[in-house]
Amino acid sequence: MGTVNTDEDDIVTVCFDDGSEMECAIYAVFPAGERDYVALVPLEEQDEDSEDSEIYLFRFSANEEDEDDIQLDNIEDDEEYELVSAAFDALFDEEEE
């Protein structure tokens, strides 16, 4: 279904519209519907209790010619967010088993 990342070297910097930035670890990349999505955990929260950590979900696409060149897009539609959230929950439940 998807993969949970255990490689601590996979860090991305998320740039927000207000100019602020946040470094995040890639927690998982997974499909939902016809697209791929990524779950990110802010580095500042990575060492805290995972039950309370914030998870950021983004639409994800990689450049076919350069895997390190990735595009993250906001999920702006409630229906899409519900689909992605359910897929992430299913992946997370699968990992706990």
Q: Domain map of the chain by residue range?
A: 3-96
User: What is this structure's pTM?
Assistant: 0.77
Walk along the chain (97 residues) and give the pLDDT tens digit of each residue. Answer: 444 444 556 888 888 889 898 899 988 999 999 999 999 999 886 555 556 678 999 998 877 777 667 788 999 899 999 999 999 999 877 666 5
CB 28 within 8 A of CB 38: yes
Residue 97's pLDDT is 58
Alpha-carbon distance of 69 to 48, in angstroms, equals 29
- Alpha helices in 13-53, H assignment, sequence order: 43-46
Query: In sequence order, which residues have a C-beta less than 8 Å from that of residue 80 and are 6 or more positions away?
Result: 33
Q: Determine the pLDDT at residue 52.
A: 67
Instruction: Measure the CA–CA gap between 58 and 56, rounded to whole angstroms.
Output: 7
